[in-house]
Amino acid sequence: MSTAELSEQEVIRRNSLAKLRELGIEPYPAAEFQVNAKAAEIKAEFEPEKQNFQEVTLAGRIMSRRIMGKASFAELQDDTGRIQLYINRDEICAGEDKTLYNDVFKKLLDIGDFIGIKGFAFTTQVGEKSVHVKELIVLSKSLRPLPIVKEKDGKVYDAFTDPEMRYRQRYVDLVVNPQVKDTFLKRTKIVNTMRQMFNEYGYLEVETPILQSIPGGAAARPFVTHHNALNIPLYLRIANELYLKRLIVGGFDGVYEFAKDFRNEGMDRTHNPEFTVMEIYVAYKDYKWMMNFTEEMIERVALALHGTTKVKLGDKEIDFKRPFKRVTMLDSIKEHTGIDISGMDEVQLRAVCKQLDIDVDESMGKGKLIDEIFGEKCEGNYIQPTFIIDYPVEMSPLCKKHRDNPELTERFELMVNGKELANAYSELNDPIDQLERFQDQLKLSEKGDDEAMFIDMDFVRSLEYGMPPTSGMGIGIDRLTMFMTNNQSIQDVLFFPQMKPEKKNEADGDEKFEAAGVPGEWIDVLRKMGFKKVDALKEVKAGKLFNDLCGFNKKNKLGLQNPTMEDVTGWIA
């Protein structure tokens, strides 16, 4: 990369890098650097009377510097946070040679550089726990300036907030915005808490295929890829349900998987093309048992994270204390629309939708119509955790029919803040019924529903060998994390949310300019004048280009020998 494309500050840092090497200091040393303390630890535990932390070794990034002549303060940020350093010239440079302080620390190091230090903890006159540096080692030079975020009394100045840059350059976001790191620490804690609970219950964590030849277990459009050796299409999984149930058939009493699923659909604040779902299946249980299990799980997660079941979410407070409210879907619709749809057929439901001003189309069957009514009129009302139970059979092709009403299924969804968080069934284990339900889906598909499920004959075959009564539950880990960390956007709980590809820098390389006959010293000049591509030159008149070049040379005092008119004409010929 030529220096013309770098900002002034980047050029200065590259020059500093070279000067470090001239001084015999390797800016990217290979050797291990062993630390014996962390910033947060010293801040929490250092007490002057105890004389602890008197020989500490720390490593991290320089995040700020205050130079006061022979003494300086700096902040070092490691993975636990920041701690102030006190650096005195005559202490880190014991002899006559003051280069390490005057040049290396004051001039050649920058905010963002990694250093290691040895020293002792003390408290400054203003009362801040700090480390008095005796020795300083350069560990890694940073060539790009970080955004500088400052904070006083909880008020943040010059925050790094542009969402696009935060998501595209998450590494920068993580370095300068400590609350971002906290969200991801909590995300891991959520997963760990759940895993610990499942393991306590004796269930087995498993892995199932991501590449599937029949994308089953949910209603969604899949991503397609191709397997060369087999010469077949393969789909990225939209769910892992059918594989986990095969494992129940195989004799495991409890299996679970934290799975990445992929759905080829729109992206917005609550949808990312790839997302994480935890699915768990437990033999000899039903959906009622699973409701209690889900409550326990969510309550444990809330307590592990916050020490309380009450969690702030936007301007609301959600209380995850057990038990959650339980409402049947038909009661919910009755409550929010005043209409009792039980026993209605497709025609009647269509009329209800019209009456309620809900858009429908011909491809929608009975289940989808009811789903529309619920989604439109009811879903948004459930802010506090609520189980919606007993869904119509048409909406749930993998779910066992209700023990008291064949029109319904033994299914619940957990709604929080007006959004679905978890979904669970008494699993359908009647293979004949299952095949019929798949065939109904096929009819929907023929009617134009592009989300209807494929028939998975191997799954049906597995059920024919017999699956014990089983309850299964799936929960969106991204959404759960959003609720538990007070983030309104799924992009804030994914390290690297899907983004449109970044625009490429379309500038031509030096070779292409040279091939056109442009001498090396003029290439950067042309780029700086806005001619990123050789072809762009051909669109201007030689005379104008010649004048502009000479003018640019003069104006910017480049001191280059001006080309002749003939030269310029040659470049663009």
The footprint of RNA on residues 387-416 (CB under 7 A) is: 413
Q: Cβ(302)–Cβ(309) under 8 Å?
A: yes
Contact stretch for RNA (CB under 7 A) within 183-191, 213-221, 517-525, 547-555: 213-221
Of 256, 300, 294, the closest CA to residue 278 belongs to: 256
If one asks whether residue 162 binds RNA (CB under 7 A), the answer comes out as yes
Minimum CB separation from RNA for residue 545, in Å? 15
- DSSP 8-state class, residue 41: H
50: left (phi over 0), alpha (psi -120 to 50) or beta: alpha
> Which is it for strands 81-88 and 224-227: parallel, antiparallel or unpaired?
unpaired
Name which position in 4, 94, 165, 432 contacts RNA (CB under 7 A).
165
566 is in an annotated binding site: no
If one asks whether residue 128 binds RNA (CB under 7 A), the answer comes out as yes
Q: Which of residues 221-250 bind RNA (CB under 7 A)?
A: 221
Burial of residue 321 (CB within 10 Å: 0-12, 13-18, 19+) is middle
Minimum CB separation from RNA for residue 136, in Å? 16
Contact stretch for RNA (CB under 7 A) within 150-158, 192-200, 286-294, 561-569: 150-158
If one asks whether residue 65 binds RNA (CB under 7 A), the answer comes out as yes
Q: Which of residues 341-380 bind RNA (CB under 7 A)?
A: 359, 371, 375, 379
Minimum CB separation from RNA for residue 496, in Å? 13
Minimum CB separation from RNA for residue 86, in Å? 6
Nearer to RNA by Cβ, of 306 and 419: the residue is: 419
Minimum CB separation from RNA for residue 484, in Å? 19
Mark 481-520 with x for binding to RNA (rule: CB under 7 A) and - for no binding.
-------xx-x-------xx--x-----------------
Minimum CB separation from RNA for residue 201, in Å? 26
Name which position in 127, 338, 343, 559 contacts RNA (CB under 7 A).
127
420 is in an annotated binding site: yes
CB atoms within 10 A of CB 540: 14
Place of tokens 């806005």: 530
Q: Which of residues 528-547 bind RNA (CB under 7 A)?
A: 530, 532
If one asks whether residue 84 binds RNA (CB under 7 A), the answer comes out as yes
Of 104, 92, 101, 97, the closest CA to residue 19 belongs to: 104
Name which position in 26, 268, 317, 340 contacts RNA (CB under 7 A).
268
Contact stretch for RNA (CB under 7 A) within 43-51, 107-115, 192-200, 300-308: 107-115
If one asks whether residue 220 binds RNA (CB under 7 A), the answer comes out as yes
If one asks whether residue 148 binds RNA (CB under 7 A), the answer comes out as yes
Q: What residues form DSSP beta bridges with 422? A: 414, 475
Minimum CB separation from RNA for residue 263, in Å? 5
Q: Cβ(394)–Cβ(349) under 8 Å?
A: no
* Planar angle of CA 341, 347, 350, nearest 5 degrees: 70
Q: Which long-range contacts (CB under 8 A, 24 or more apart) does 31-39 make?
A: 33/57, 33/59, 33/116, 33/137, 33/139, 35/59, 35/78, 35/116, 38/78, 38/79, 38/80, 39/76, 39/77, 39/78, 39/80, 39/81, 39/82, 39/83
Q: Classify each residue of 276-314 as buried b or exposed e, where b means 16 or more C-beta atoms within 10 Å of its C-beta.
A: bbbbbbbbebbbeebbebbbebbbbbbebbeeebebebe
Residue list, annotated binding site for Mg(2+): 413, 420
